A and B are shown apart, each in its own frame.
Chain A
């Protein structure tokens, strides 16, 4: 068991350090997130009431799109230099290795989105009472996006047109998370009880943690054959 934990820890730190060296890869989705949200006031006008209404949906959709953009990075680099094949041959469960990579990926991609969301909430005139809900919904939701996205990334490994293709595959699957994530923020503004939203998001996260690494590992094996 210790050997497995050691391997996982090493993989996690390695992914983090490698990604930090290519800092543009990490920062681009974050900047994209901010830019996309800023486009809406430009497109719709700065009326606070309007922005407040659309803010939950806009911020959440932007988070989805930013996650989509970052998915390429998850397996592509390791695939290119053969490390991925080594991982598939290693005596450790590929699903666990995949989960480790996904966690490292989320730490650098999803977590920053969560942390910067209060700024965007202020930009979009979300009431202060809703900011906490927004952060929590993203905190629960972005890992699910990374987990599901990883399956898509694994399926499209090495394919031309991979980036757009992943979006096509994964965005329909994201809709429940979007509905409950954005819904929780809209709900708290409207004074509705949001316990159901978070229970469901939590349940989705638990399900995704259980099944997505396994599906991603299966998809990786199919793509590597």
Chain B
């Protein structure tokens, strides 16, 4: 366990993993895009616009998945004091926030042709918006604290409070939405799922996941270099390259 928790070991492991995960990402993306844009037929009701789903839904999934990972890593960091868990959590945040933003923007772009408005307070988009605020709060808290250890631990507590609240928020927003929804607006429902739509959806979801792994490792390596700058292995490595 100790070997894996060592920043030095992780740094080189990450360095080796990144090219592979990147390659897998590209393959999955190409396959997903091909199936989603060329092979899957147009939807009976929504026509071609439903294809936004292949970006919007995986982005939304990632936004939630990453937040949970972030909270989990935070818990590990708090309980066992593992530096790598701290580094992982803080590296997750901007990526998760980006996916949340993407889900919101594509949700808006999907909504405009469907509902005629750029923004609709439907349950999913509203929950996603609140999630975005949670990410921003997390990043703001970390940015406001100079001491990296206190920053990581405070952010971890915040993420845990957030993750517990997310189901509550989802439920509340769902409830609120059913009460206030005008009859003309229906949920951005997944269109009647044609089997040919499942494959590209899953491929894109996996593509985004491998992408996340690749870029989170990139961020972690940067933070490891900074945090470990006083160690011999870092100074040796920096001096060896001109």
> Which residues of chain B come closer than 8 Å to A160, judged between CB atoms?
144
Q: Is A175 a contact partner of B136 (Cβ separation < 8 A)?
A: no
Counted as pairs of residues, one from A and one from B, with CB atoms less than 8 Å apart, the total is 70
> What is the bound-complex CA distance between A39 and B219, given in angstroms?
46
Q: Is B144 a contact partner of A159 (Cβ separation < 8 A)?
A: yes
Q: Is B158 an interface residue (CB 8 A)?
A: yes
> What is the bound-complex CA distance between A175 and B127, given in angstroms?
10
Q: Is A168 an interface residue (CB 8 A)?
A: yes
> Which residues of chain B come closer than 8 Å to A140, judged between CB atoms?
none
Q: Is B164 a contact partner of A204 (Cβ separation < 8 A)?
A: no
> Which residues of chain A come closer than 8 Å to B176, judged between CB atoms?
179, 183
Smallest beta-carbon distance B122→chain A, Å: 15
Q: Is B237 an interface residue (CB 8 A)?
A: no
> Which residues of chain B come closer than 8 Å to A165, judged between CB atoms?
140-141, 144
Identify which of residues 192-225 in chain A touch chain B, using a CB-to-CB cut-off of 8 Å.
Answer: 204, 211, 215, 218-219, 222-223, 225
The majority secondary structure among interface residues of chain A is helix
The listed residue (B141, B173, B179) touching A169 by CB distance below 8 A is B141
> What is the bound-complex CA distance between A169 and B141, given in angstroms?
8
Given known pairs A155-B154, A223-B150, the reply for A173 and B141 (CB within 8 Å) is no
- Spell out B's residues near A (CB within 8 Å): 78, 130, 133-134, 136-137, 140-141, 144-145, 149-150, 153-154, 157-158, 160-162, 164-165, 168-169, 171-173, 175-176, 179
28 A-B residue contacts at CB 8 Å? Answer: A151-B161, A155-B141, A155-B158, A160-B144, A168-B136, A168-B137, A168-B140, A169-B140, A169-B141, A172-B134, A172-B137, A172-B162, A173-B134, A173-B162, A173-B165, A173-B169, A175-B130, A175-B169, A175-B173, A179-B172, A179-B175, A180-B172, A180-B175, A183-B179, A211-B164, A219-B154, A222-B153, A225-B150
> What is the bound-complex CA distance between A180 and B179, given in angstroms?
11
> What is the bound-complex CA distance between A180 and B173, given in angstroms?
10
> What is the bound-complex CA distance between A30 and B109, given in angstroms?
42
> What is the bound-complex CA distance between A225 and B172, given in angstroms?
36
With CB as the reference atom, state the residue of chain B lying closest to A219: B157
Q: Is B134 a contact partner of A156 (Cβ separation < 8 A)?
A: no
Q: Is A91 an interface residue (CB 8 A)?
A: no
Smallest beta-carbon distance A109→chain B, Å: 21
> What is the bound-complex CA distance between A92 and B133, given in angstroms?
36
Smallest beta-carbon distance A19→chain B, Å: 26
> Which residues of chain A come closer than 8 Å to B175, judged between CB atoms?
179-180
Q: Is A176 an interface residue (CB 8 A)?
A: yes
Which of A168, A172, A211, A223 has the most CB atoms of chain B within a 10 A radius of its CB?
A172
The listed residue (A159, A173, A179, A222) touching B157 by CB distance below 8 A is A222
Smallest beta-carbon distance A221→chain B, Å: 9
Given known pairs A168-B136, A172-B133, A223-B150, the reply for A155 and B172 (CB within 8 Å) is no
Smallest beta-carbon distance A201→chain B, Å: 11
Smallest beta-carbon distance A213→chain B, Å: 13
> Which residues of chain A come closer than 8 Å to B160, judged between CB atoms?
215
Given known pairs A151-B161, A172-B134, A223-B150, the reply for A156 and B173 (CB within 8 Å) is no
Given known pairs A155-B141, A156-B141, A165-B140, the reply for A215 and B134 (CB within 8 Å) is no
Q: Is A223 a contact partner of B168 (Cβ separation < 8 A)?
A: no
Which of A159, A160, A169, A211 has the most CB atoms of chain B within a 10 A radius of its CB?
A169
> What is the bound-complex CA distance between A183 and B78, given in angstroms?
37
Which of B136, B158, B162 has the most CB atoms of chain A within a 10 A radius of its CB?
B158
Q: Is B157 a contact partner of A151 (Cβ separation < 8 A)?
A: yes
> What is the bound-complex CA distance between A146 and B117, given in angstroms?
37
The listed residue (A176, A211, A222) touching B169 by CB distance below 8 A is A176
The listed residue (A161, A171, A180, A215) touching B161 by CB distance below 8 A is A215
Given known pairs A155-B154, A179-B173, A225-B150, the reply for A173 and B140 (CB within 8 Å) is no
**Interface contacts beyond A165-B140, A168-B137: sample of 9 additional A-B pairs, CB < 8 Å, sorted by A:** A155-B154, A168-B136, A173-B161, A175-B169, A204-B168, A219-B157, A222-B153, A223-B150, A225-B150
With CB as the reference atom, state the residue of chain A lying closest to B138: A169
Smallest beta-carbon distance A136→chain B, Å: 18
> Which residues of chain B come closer than 8 Å to A159, judged between CB atoms?
144-145
> What is the bound-complex CA distance between A183 and B168, given in angstroms?
16
